[in-house]
Structure 1
């Protein structure tokens, strides 16, 4: 009896969503397009020309025709991926999204890998190095602004984890991590049921200062919570503003120097056990993000102590400039919901900055990294810092212009040590253009920091992804080793307790 090949799937389509909002349809009909949001325009500036790089480990090689057919039915239907950014000749007006015809030959790239494929077939580690070098080469350049700002490179080369690799390069002005993950999920199907979209990772509502019901106790609780939020917001917002002028992190060997945003970046990644992270989370009564902050703190402590006789500067200040989703509903939403007119979970760059200090210090008990990291994150959760930075950035851009806003943000970010993010991915195996995905590893380049740490979950795995300036961090795999070692150290400590 002939059995259906589970990978011979029907190409997914985005026909189930309106390709543009009503406003965009009217503007597109008039041939004018719509203005870029302040956040999207921010990511176009020379000192913040940010490009997202996402490495997809594939279960097998995807041919060019198969890839183009899949993208034609999915990605190309999205208004941001089928528009160009147009500025008037004077350059004074805000750039606009203007729909255009997408020529997939310009966006789907199959480079000649030469003898590297033969070497990788014998030694897959050689394939890992080739992919790293290829991405480093990509980070030397910027996307062509005369066409939609995205492309995908497919490398017919085996690595230690995948049969081949696809590399998405997307300009950050198209959307933030939450938006792009929603779009990516809409472009995939479950490998266990190739007619079904992946399940959305569970989302939760943001907590607020107010409780439910009414009574003296609830009123007192509301007042107290409001006071805590107000005080934390004032302190954190003051420190954020101070960081634009005089408050700097301790100068260490992970901090970038002038012009770091223009230098190429090397992207490396390591697979961790999501189950181990969940074990720590459950034992410590915290969140996965809290665990990752603690593990990163322990790894940075280990990395910075090496070669310095185990000593760290007193009161060392290591902070991350962290982009926070400010939508009313957190988590990954369906693409149809994000594209709906008036949706609270709308598409775009809906973000605010917060500055989070990592507990980089010698701890006798490894669990102290989790405790201290959780305490730092909790203070940030009970504040409106992200809302403050988002609204103040809009106000500055509106009153003083995009250049002033960019310069102030550049000073804040360059006075911190690293960028950090954690994004939840599919909870079951998914296929892209009919090919099962082995892993997802996102990163970014074009911002003024020498170290970026991303965590990306997928099924029961967690990818730790580093993007580094090799002039500052010449040994990124050593830092990956420290992250892996710190996770096991903390998990073993949990097991002993």
Structure 2
């Protein structure tokens, strides 16, 4: 998924073959006026056998799901979106792929499985296994590429669970989650859409406070602004050059360290175990606010900094244990005495959609009033390094994370990687473009994203939501980690290849313990 700053089922050996068309697309005529639209290059990329990515949107409900109500509402909302009511067709002569509007049978997309009575013994494990089994196959391309599975199973966090499975070619992760949220309303006011906190859209510069004191002259302030702007521009150019060179090196030869969580070749075809843990968003806000108050340089820490810091701390704890098991000797878990190798290179590939998001209101209007909204995949890549090391001061994880994120914000890496991918596609074709993306991702270790969710409790067609857990599978990573905020909760979601990470719940424990240690350190400031 794509970071907010950025997802099924596939056979070993490649994705399902698209519907073949002869002459002019011989799609069955319906009462719906037939419309065609070619796939964007990024959407086409997600149909390559080695990059057949699906998005998962798991929603826990505070009440049992009513299939009939949900079906009726979907027909008048989600199906109004062209991607959710179009078939993928390919001309067998030219190989061109198109979206072709079709009549949708909602009963083929909303799936209510027969539940084995044995699920009562461990309902949480039942839902976990159900999603795991879904990840063994690809979506059926004889119908629009999405499904909603309704499981009226009472788990530890919900009375019922809905699992959206959507092919990544329909849109980027952030836009698809926004589209699903546009189908919800506030529980306290059913006429209102969810409120998503505003995000800083500036990706190529940091904000600095240049306030003057005393009798500073306006000309001096302007001069300061000028020199700071020049310096930030120089940093932007230098950071972009470094990042583009690193991207090229990664595509050619530069690989992450072969740690215990680095995926093996072919991992993209393996089923995924999806697990989650709900923690307190207020705890993360406490850390952010405490570090801002204690900052001597007026640094503005964010929830994203805290999430990345927790991730670095949790991964370091987990890897320290795994290396101890491999070496059959535990050297400790302090900054000076631990089991971690020196200079571990561990990076996350973040896919960023450069196309501005339409927003929930625009998507809602599109479904309800047949208006237009921006949509599509314009995907650029950002390689985000993680510092793997144990720290005696837990707040150092957040400080290091902030430094990394601030440097990445002051770079045009995503723009240039998108342009490079476009040039490769134009001159060498989709196969080489797919190989480029696959090499970059397989040479890194994981995928990371932090998505901002609604501030208030929402209902999905009248069903109050307890939690939201987005994830993905189909990429050549052994680990995908997504953060999703919702009201006063933060959900940490892992999608893992069990041959790489056999104990994902232990990794969740390490992430939660790391957050608690960072919070305790923040309280002591």
Q: Distance in 2 between matches of 1:81 and 1:92?
A: 22
Q: 1:63, CA displacement in angstroms?
A: 2.4
**How far is the alpha carbon of 1:182 from its aligned partner?**
2.1
Q: Secondary structure at the match of 1:130?
A: helix
Does residue 76 of the first structure (1) align with residue 76 of the second (2)? Answer: no
TM-score by length of 2: 0.84
Counterpart in the other structure of 2:255:
248
CA distance in 1, matches of 2:173, 2:440: 21
Partner of 2:450: 422
Whether 1:490 and 2:512 are equivalent positions in the alignment is no
Partner of 1:109: 111
Distance 1:230 1:451, change over 3 A: same
- Identify the residue that residue 65 of structure 1 maps to in structure 2: 68
Q: Distance in 1 between matches of 2:514 and 2:461?
A: 37
Shift in Å, 1:334: 3.9
Quote the Cα distance in structure 1 between the aligned partners of 2:248 and 2:365: 35
Gaps of 5+ in 2: 1-30, 211-217, 293-300, 325-329, 331-337
**How far, CA to CA, are the matches of 1:29 and 1:434 in structure 2?**
29
Shift of 1:84: 1.0
Query: Counterparts of 2:32 and 2:119 in 1: how far apart (Å)?
Result: 47
Q: Secondary structure at the match of 2:252?
A: coil
1:432-461 deviation digits (Å, cap 9, x = unpaired): 121100101010000000100000111100
Per the alignment, residue 122 of structure 1 pairs with: none
Unaligned runs of 5+ in 1: 1-27, 120-125
Cross-structure match for 1:204: 200
1:230 aligns to what? Answer: 237
1:271 to 259, 266, 278: 278
TM-score (norm 1): 0.88
Question: Is residue 56–residue 441 contact of structure 1 (8 Å, CA) maintained in 2?
Answer: yes
- Distance in 2 of aligned mates of 1:46 and 1:283: 47
Q: 1:205/1:323 Cα in 2 relative to 1: closer, same or farther (>3 Å)?
A: same
Count of residue pairs the alignment pairs up: 462
1:296 to 311, 314, 327: 311
Aligned residue for 1:90, secondary structure, equals: coil
Q: How far is the alpha carbon of 1:209 from its aligned partner?
A: 5.4
Give the drift of 1:301. Answer: 0.5
Task: Give the C-alpha shift of residue 189 in structure 1.
Answer: 1.0
Q: Are the counterparts in 2 of residues 178 and 332 from structure 1 also a CA contact under 8 Å?
A: no
Is residue 157 from structure 1 mapped to residue 153 from structure 2 by the alignment?
A: yes
How far did 1:29 drift?
9.4
1: CA distance, partners of 2:343 / 2:101? 52
* Aligned residues of 1:201 and 1:332 also touching (Cα < 8 A): no
Matched with 1:98 is 100
Within-5 A mapping of 1:136-151: 136-151=132-147
The equivalent residue for 1:22 is: none
CA distance in 2, matches of 1:290, 1:154: 35
Whether the 8 Å CA contact 1:117–1:158 is kept in 2: the answer is no
**C-alpha contact (below 8 Å) 1:206/1:328 kept by paired residues:** no
Cα root mean square deviation, aligned? 2.5
Quote the offset at 1:478 in angstroms. Answer: 0.1
Residue 461 of structure 2 aligns with which residue? 433
Select 2:346's aligned residue among 315, 318, 327: 318
Runs of 4+ in structure 1 displaced over 6 angstroms? Answer: 210-214, 329-333, 337-343
SS at 2:91's partner residue? coil
Secondary structure in 1 matching 2:142: coil
**How far off is 1:66 after superposition?**
1.2
How far apart, in 2, do the equivalents of 1:163 and 1:183 lie? 24
Counterpart CA distance in 1 for 2:74 and 2:364 is 18
Structure 1 residues 208 and 233: alpha-carbon distance in aligned structure 2, compared to 1, 3 A threshold: closer
State the secondary structure of the residue aligned to 1:244. Answer: helix
Query: For 1:87, what is the secondary structure of its paired residue?
Result: strand
The superposition leaves residues 129-162 of structure 1 with CA deviations (integer Å, 9 ceiling, x where unpaired) of 0011011100000001111000011112110010
The structure-2 alpha-carbon separation of the partners of 1:210 and 1:302, relative to structure 1 and needing over 3 Å to count, comes to closer
C-alpha separation between the residues in 2 aligned to 1:347 and 1:243? 30
User: Is 2:186–2:459's contact at 8 Å kept on the other side of the alignment?
Assistant: yes
Query: Where does residue 49 of structure 1 map in the other structure?
Result: 52
Q: Secondary structure at the match of 2:58?
A: strand
1:181 to 177, 183, 200: 177
CA distance in 2 between partners of 1:198 and 1:404 (Å): 41
